[in-house]
Amino acid sequence: MTTRYTRDHEWIRLDGDVATIGISDYAQEQLGDVVYVELPAVGKSFDKGAEAAVVESVKAASEIFAPVAGEVVEVNAALDAEPGTVNNSPEGDGWFMKLKVTNAADVNELMDGDTYEAFLETI
């Protein structure tokens, strides 16, 4: 399962037609200590690029955008009690939501890990 990234620092892993989505390690470092995550409702649909969630830290609040179009099939409810999981495991246990992807080709438009690392060097 390959991880892809957006310019807004979301990551996505596609398993069949279901994509797991979260924020990158870089994003959580920029945010600082995450204190709250607002997740979408299961069943809600998003267009690619639409605001899908909000993460709040001691420094700022930031929108999380849907890297692909799809319908929410699961959210990481554990983040309600432990939002700091986003800091401790941003690309693992700190995932935000799972979307049933409408158009799998959207994933191919995102950056692979090497391209994302190169992108970070330009920031």
Please report whether residue 117 resides in a domain.
no
Domain count, the chain: 1
Q: Look at residue 20 and tell me if it is in a domain.
A: yes
Residue 55 domain-assigned? yes
Does residue 39 sit within a domain? yes
Residue 52 placed within a domain: yes
Residue 102: per-residue pLDDT:
96
Predicted confidence at residue 1, as pLDDT, reads 73
Residue 113 belongs to a domain: no
Q: What CATH number is associated with residue 72?
A: 2.40.50.100
Q: Which domain holds residue 61?
A: 3-103
pLDDT value, residue 101: 97
Collect all residues with Cβ–Cβ distance below 8 Å to 75 and sequence separation of at least 6: 39, 40, 41, 42, 96, 97, 98
Q: Return d(Cα 45, Cα 63) in angstroms, integer.
A: 16
Q: Is there a domain that residue 109 lies in?
A: no
pLDDT per residue as tens, the chain (123 positions): 799 999 999 999 999 999 999 999 999 999 999 999 999 999 999 999 999 999 999 999 999 999 999 999 999 999 999 999 999 999 999 999 999 999 989 999 999 999 999 999 999
